[in-house]
DNA sequence: CAATCGCATTAACAAATGATAAAAAGGAGC
DNA sequence: GCTCCTTTTTATCATTTGTTAATGCGATTG
């Protein structure tokens, strides 16, 4: 199937071709247009996703009704499955395509069964989960202990070039500031 | 064994006495004095913990060398195992007892094996994990979208009475503000 | 009881961030 | 190229939060 799947999987951890094939057998490609919300909070879902091409964000609606960006996903990554499928298969988050997006989806229950049967795939799933948690802890400490300027610099390190590809409003809410403040910081850092 | 284990487990999800016994067979009680750090970042660990009595926090050291509180744990809860054991059994976080603490620990590998063998226990483990993630998402949106005052109010809802039992410095770093700001907010809210 | 230690509170000032509105800059479609 | 529409930047002012340092206060201890 798609060579990109192998690339994504190996960016997570080493995995044999055999195990990879088992995963690939479950995958179905899917294309989604820019701006589309393809997972909704509270929605019953039973799919896991590989992001082959494009950019997405996960987000929640704040008490004030604004979209708060939780994470960004760039080409060749995995759309954090456990965060997505928490609570009896109901998603905790919304996902929106920020560009045209090419996905490969698979049935979550079938993948879970694979994890039980196959030690290698179980390990793979666990590593995905652990990396996701590590990112969350990083973001948490960033929001709690760094200034907005430092958070912007950290964002640029982690997502080089994203700043020029997506609306700044989305980045600002990821950083926990307003888009006006983001604009100020950008100006400040450019001198 | 300890009736508290049953109480903790059932606060997570319904679980049969049989499955509970399998878990209890793995448990070993342990007492820890106030102030002790009993899990260290980067430390190799292979234990999961039930918190029977007392209060703990998980934390990280910020770039400036300060302790940043990530989570609080109060009596009768589970010390988020996956966050703890991420990265090949190395802990991502430090844990400190904020009062004298009574724990029950179990071997993580043995528990993982139980999860594979027993559907009920697997489900239990997954629910623990999902609840933990849901909390992280909640905290994330709080830090990104709420004011410090709103975060303090949310903290009070979630941890009633904790404000009078532990140092305010720990609470302030959990909220992402300084202890001076916390004191100001407390005064402001008391009028 | 006095001295001391650890926190919490206050105060005063500086810096960062938010809110609102207006201006400028880009992009999409015609 | 022009128009319309959205996004970004700028400007102004209000508010919040940080920093530093002093003060208060309770618990512990000698």
Residues A104-140: pLDDT tens digits?
A: 999 999 999 999 999 999 999 988 988 888 899 999 9
Is A1's pLDDT higher than 60?
no
Q: For chain B, first and last CA: distance in Å?
A: 48
Strand D: which of residues 138-157 in chain B lie with Cβ below 7 A?
A: 147-149
Between A80 and B30, name the one with better pLDDT: B30
Phi/psi region, residue A168 (left: phi>0; alpha: psi -120 to 50; beta: rest), is alpha
Q: Is B70 on the interface with A (CB under 8 A)?
A: yes
Q: For chain A, first and last CA: distance in Å?
A: 48
Predicted pLDDT of residue A83: 76
A124 token code pair: 């793979």
Residue B59: beta bridge partners? B69, B94
Check if residue B126 sits with its Cβ under 7 angstroms from strand D: no
Q: B3-136 adopts what CATH topology?
A: Jelly Rolls (2.60.120)
Predicted pLDDT of residue A27: 95
Q: Which nucleotide is nearest to A149 (CA to C1')?
A: C16
By mean pLDDT, which of A1-15, B4-18, B114-128, B176-190 is the weakest? A1-15
Query: Which element (helix H / strand E) includes A32?
Result: strand A28-32
Nearest CA to A12 out of A125, A113, A109 is that of: A125
Is A17's pLDDT higher than 90?
yes
Q: B52, exposed or middle or buried, with CB in 10 Å at 0-12, 13-18, 19+?
A: buried
Q: Choosing among A13, A91, A131, A133, which should be mutated to test the B contact, i.e. which has the most B CBs within 10 A?
A: A133
| Chain B, window 141-160: residues with a beta carbon less than 8 angstroms from a chain A beta carbon | 141, 143-146
The DSSP secondary structure of B35-49, one letter per residue, reads T-EEE-TT-B--EEE
Q: A3-132 adopts what CATH topology?
A: Jelly Rolls (2.60.120)
Predicted pLDDT of residue B44: 83
Q: How far is A152 from chain B (nearest CA, A)?
A: 13
In chain A, domain spans: 3-132, 146-191
Q: How confident is the model at residue B157 (pLDDT cuts 50, 70, 90)?
A: very high
Dmax over CA atoms of chain B, in Å, equals 56
- Average pLDDT (B137-163) is 95
Burial A135-169 (b: 16+ CB within 10 A, else e): ebbebbbbbbbbebeebbeebeeebeebeeebeee
C1' of D24 to CA of B172 (Å) = 21
Is B76's pLDDT higher than 70?
yes
- Average pLDDT (B87-98) is 86
């Amino acid at each position: 199937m798609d060579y990109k799947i192998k690339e994504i999987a190996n960016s997570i951890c080493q995995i044999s071709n055999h195990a990879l094939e088992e995963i690939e057998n479950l995958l179905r490609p899917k294309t989604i247009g820019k701006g589309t919300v393809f997972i909704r909070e509270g929605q019953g879902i039973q799919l896991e996703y590989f992001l082959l091409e494009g950019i997405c964000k996960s987000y929640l609606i704040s008490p004030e009704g604004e979209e708060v960006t939780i994470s960004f996903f760039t080409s060749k990554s995995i759309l954090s499955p456990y965060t997505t499928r928490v609570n009896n298969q109901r998603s905790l988050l919304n996902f929106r395509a920020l560009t045209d997006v090419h996905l490969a989806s698979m049935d979550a229950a079938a993948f879970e069964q694979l994890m039980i049967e196959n030690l290698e795939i179980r390990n793979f799933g666990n590593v995905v989960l652990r990396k996701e948690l590590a990112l969350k802890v990083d973001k948490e400490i960033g929001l709690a202990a760094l200034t907005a300027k430092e958070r912007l610099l950290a964002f640029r390190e982690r997502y080089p070039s994203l700043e020029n590809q997506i609306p700044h409003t989305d980045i600002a809410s990821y950083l926990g500031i307003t888009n006006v403040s983001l604009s100020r910081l950008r100006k400040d850092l450019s001198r």
